[in-house]
Amino acid sequence: MKTVAIYPGSFDPITLGHLSVLKRAVGIFGEIAVVVVHNPNKSPLFSSKERVEMISQTLVEAKIDGVRVLELESGLLVDFARDLNAKVILKGFRSESDIEYELPMAQVNRDLTSIETVFLPSEPEYGYVSSSLVKEVAKLGGDVSQYLTKSIEKALVERLQK
Ligand code: PNS
Protein backbone atom coordinates (compact mmCIF):
# COMPACT_ATOMS: atom_id res chain seq x y z
CA MET A 1 0.00 0.00 0.00
CA LYS A 2 1.38 3.40 -0.89
CA THR A 3 2.15 5.92 1.83
CA VAL A 4 0.42 9.25 1.32
CA ALA A 5 2.31 12.24 2.72
CA ILE A 6 1.16 15.83 3.07
CA TYR A 7 3.58 18.74 2.88
CA PRO A 8 1.91 21.67 4.65
CA GLY A 9 3.00 25.27 4.93
CA SER A 10 2.32 28.88 4.09
CA PHE A 11 4.40 28.83 0.88
CA ASP A 12 4.14 32.62 0.57
CA PRO A 13 5.77 32.14 -1.90
CA ILE A 14 7.20 28.67 -2.55
CA THR A 15 11.01 28.76 -2.81
CA LEU A 16 13.62 26.50 -4.42
CA GLY A 17 14.29 25.21 -0.90
CA HIS A 18 10.70 23.91 -0.66
CA LEU A 19 10.99 22.42 -4.15
CA SER A 20 14.21 20.63 -3.23
CA VAL A 21 12.46 18.96 -0.27
CA LEU A 22 9.53 18.00 -2.49
CA LYS A 23 11.70 16.59 -5.27
CA ARG A 24 13.52 14.33 -2.82
CA ALA A 25 10.31 13.31 -1.06
CA VAL A 26 8.71 12.19 -4.33
CA GLY A 27 11.27 9.38 -4.40
CA ILE A 28 10.36 8.28 -0.89
CA PHE A 29 6.55 8.49 -0.64
CA GLY A 30 3.94 6.94 -2.90
CA GLU A 31 1.90 10.10 -3.11
CA ILE A 32 2.38 13.68 -1.93
CA ALA A 33 -0.08 16.51 -1.47
CA VAL A 34 1.25 20.02 -0.89
CA VAL A 35 -1.18 21.76 1.44
CA VAL A 36 -1.35 25.53 1.42
CA VAL A 37 -2.48 26.39 4.92
CA HIS A 38 -4.09 29.64 5.94
CA ASN A 39 -2.02 30.67 8.99
CA PRO A 40 -3.98 33.27 11.01
CA ASN A 41 -0.72 34.45 12.60
CA LYS A 42 0.64 35.62 9.24
CA SER A 43 -0.49 38.24 6.71
CA PRO A 44 0.30 36.62 3.38
CA LEU A 45 1.26 38.53 0.26
CA PHE A 46 -0.65 36.04 -1.90
CA SER A 47 -4.11 34.56 -1.24
CA SER A 48 -4.35 30.82 -0.64
CA LYS A 49 -5.91 30.35 -4.08
CA GLU A 50 -3.08 32.30 -5.71
CA ARG A 51 -0.51 30.21 -3.88
CA VAL A 52 -2.17 26.96 -4.99
CA GLU A 53 -2.09 28.20 -8.58
CA MET A 54 1.53 29.40 -8.31
CA ILE A 55 2.71 26.10 -6.80
CA SER A 56 0.91 24.07 -9.47
CA GLN A 57 2.60 26.15 -12.17
CA THR A 58 6.02 25.92 -10.55
CA LEU A 59 5.77 22.12 -10.24
CA VAL A 60 5.34 21.94 -14.00
CA GLU A 61 8.24 24.34 -14.48
CA ALA A 62 10.48 22.31 -12.13
CA LYS A 63 9.31 19.05 -13.81
CA ILE A 64 8.11 17.51 -10.56
CA ASP A 65 5.38 14.95 -11.25
CA GLY A 66 2.95 13.15 -8.99
CA VAL A 67 2.26 15.97 -6.54
CA ARG A 68 -1.20 17.39 -5.81
CA VAL A 69 -1.73 20.90 -4.48
CA LEU A 70 -4.56 21.50 -2.03
CA GLU A 71 -5.75 24.23 0.29
CA LEU A 72 -6.66 24.20 3.99
CA GLU A 73 -8.56 27.37 4.86
CA SER A 74 -9.49 26.38 8.41
CA GLY A 75 -9.46 23.48 10.82
CA LEU A 76 -6.79 21.14 12.05
CA LEU A 77 -4.14 19.79 9.75
CA VAL A 78 -4.50 16.33 11.28
CA ASP A 79 -8.21 16.20 10.38
CA PHE A 80 -7.37 17.20 6.82
CA ALA A 81 -4.68 14.50 6.77
CA ARG A 82 -7.12 11.89 8.03
CA ASP A 83 -9.66 12.80 5.31
CA LEU A 84 -6.92 12.31 2.71
CA ASN A 85 -5.83 9.06 4.32
CA ALA A 86 -2.36 10.59 4.71
CA LYS A 87 -0.04 8.69 7.03
CA VAL A 88 2.80 11.21 7.16
CA ILE A 89 3.28 14.95 7.55
CA LEU A 90 6.39 15.97 5.64
CA LYS A 91 8.47 18.95 6.78
CA GLY A 92 11.82 20.33 5.74
CA PHE A 93 14.23 21.72 8.28
CA ARG A 94 17.14 24.08 7.83
CA SER A 95 18.48 24.66 11.31
CA GLU A 96 18.05 24.10 15.03
CA SER A 97 15.55 26.95 15.21
CA ASP A 98 13.33 25.17 12.69
CA ILE A 99 13.40 22.07 14.88
CA GLU A 100 12.48 24.16 17.93
CA TYR A 101 9.48 25.53 16.03
CA GLU A 102 8.50 22.24 14.37
CA LEU A 103 9.04 19.69 17.15
CA PRO A 104 6.11 20.76 19.37
CA MET A 105 3.79 20.81 16.34
CA ALA A 106 4.93 17.32 15.36
CA GLN A 107 4.35 16.09 18.90
CA VAL A 108 0.91 17.71 19.25
CA ASN A 109 -0.12 16.37 15.85
CA ARG A 110 0.87 12.88 16.96
CA ASP A 111 -1.02 13.29 20.26
CA LEU A 112 -4.11 14.21 18.27
CA THR A 113 -4.17 11.39 15.72
CA SER A 114 -0.97 9.31 15.92
CA ILE A 115 0.18 10.77 12.62
CA GLU A 116 3.97 10.90 12.30
CA THR A 117 5.96 13.87 11.01
CA VAL A 118 8.99 13.08 8.87
CA PHE A 119 11.68 15.75 8.58
CA LEU A 120 13.96 16.07 5.57
CA PRO A 121 17.07 18.20 6.04
CA SER A 122 17.42 21.05 3.58
CA GLU A 123 20.19 20.92 1.04
CA PRO A 124 23.05 23.13 2.31
CA GLU A 125 22.60 25.57 -0.57
CA TYR A 126 19.06 26.34 0.62
CA GLY A 127 19.79 26.16 4.34
CA TYR A 128 19.23 29.88 4.86
CA VAL A 129 16.49 30.50 2.29
CA SER A 130 13.07 31.45 3.64
CA SER A 131 9.97 32.95 2.03
CA SER A 132 10.04 35.88 4.45
CA LEU A 133 13.68 36.76 3.73
CA VAL A 134 13.11 36.45 -0.02
CA LYS A 135 10.11 38.80 0.25
CA GLU A 136 12.12 41.32 2.26
CA VAL A 137 14.97 41.34 -0.28
CA ALA A 138 12.52 41.63 -3.20
CA LYS A 139 10.63 44.47 -1.47
CA LEU A 140 13.87 46.40 -1.18
CA GLY A 141 14.65 45.87 -4.87
CA GLY A 142 17.18 43.02 -4.53
CA ASP A 143 17.62 40.16 -7.01
CA VAL A 144 15.88 37.01 -5.74
CA SER A 145 16.18 34.95 -8.93
CA GLN A 146 18.52 32.44 -7.28
CA TYR A 147 15.87 31.48 -4.72
CA LEU A 148 12.74 31.10 -6.87
CA THR A 149 11.55 29.59 -10.12
CA LYS A 150 10.99 32.07 -12.94
CA SER A 151 7.20 32.13 -12.62
CA ILE A 152 7.31 32.71 -8.86
CA GLU A 153 9.90 35.46 -9.20
CA LYS A 154 7.72 37.16 -11.81
CA ALA A 155 4.60 36.87 -9.62
CA LEU A 156 6.48 38.27 -6.62
CA VAL A 157 7.98 41.22 -8.46
CA GLU A 158 4.60 42.04 -10.04
CA ARG A 159 2.80 41.86 -6.68
CA LEU A 160 5.33 44.15 -5.04
CA GLN A 161 4.98 46.70 -7.84
CA LYS A 162 1.22 47.06 -7.18
O1 PNS B 1 4.90 27.56 6.73
P2 PNS B 1 4.35 27.72 8.13
O3 PNS B 1 3.42 28.91 8.21
O4 PNS B 1 5.43 27.78 9.16
O5 PNS B 1 3.48 26.39 8.44
C6 PNS B 1 2.84 26.21 9.69
C7 PNS B 1 1.63 25.30 9.50
C8 PNS B 1 0.68 25.94 8.52
C9 PNS B 1 2.09 23.96 8.96
C10 PNS B 1 0.91 25.12 10.88
O11 PNS B 1 0.58 26.37 11.38
C12 PNS B 1 -0.35 24.24 10.78
O13 PNS B 1 -0.24 23.04 10.68
N14 PNS B 1 -1.54 24.88 10.77
C15 PNS B 1 -2.82 24.19 10.60
C16 PNS B 1 -3.70 24.30 11.85
C17 PNS B 1 -3.28 23.27 12.87
O18 PNS B 1 -3.47 22.07 12.72
N19 PNS B 1 -2.67 23.76 13.97
C20 PNS B 1 -2.13 22.92 15.02
C21 PNS B 1 -0.66 22.60 14.75
S22 PNS B 1 0.02 21.56 15.98
Q: Where are the domains of the chain?
A: 4-160
pLDDT in tens, the chain (162 residues): 789 999 999 999 999 999 999 999 999 998 999 999 998 888 999 999 999 999 999 999 999 998 999 999 999 999 999 999 999 999 999 999 999 999 999 999 999 999 999 999 999 999 999 999 999 999 999 999 999 999 999 999 999 997
Distance from the alpha carbon of residue 49 to the mean position of ligand 1, in angstroms:
17
pLDDT for the residue numbered 135 = 98
Q: Specify the long-range contacts of residues 56-62, CB closer than 8 Å, at least 24 apart.
A: 57/151, 58/14, 58/19, 58/149, 58/151, 58/152, 59/22, 61/149, 61/150, 61/151, 62/19, 62/23, 62/149
Position 132 scores a pLDDT of 96
Which CATH homologous superfamily contains domain 4-160?
HUPs (3.40.50.620)
**Distance of CA 77 from the midpoint of ligand 1 (Å):** 7
78: phi then psi, degrees, rounded to nearest 5: -65, -30
Residue pair 157/151 in contact (Cβ under 8 Å)? The answer is no
- Can you give the pLDDT at residue 40? 85
Q: How far is the CA of 60 from the centre of ligand 1 (A)?
A: 26
Ligand 1 atom showing the smallest separation from residue 112 Cα: 22
Q: State which amino acid sits at residue 43.
A: S
pLDDT on residue 62: 93
Clarify whether 110 is annotated catalytic. Answer: no
Helix (H, G, I), strand (E, B) or coil at 20: helix
Predicted TM-score of the model (pTM): 0.97
Active site residue 131: yes
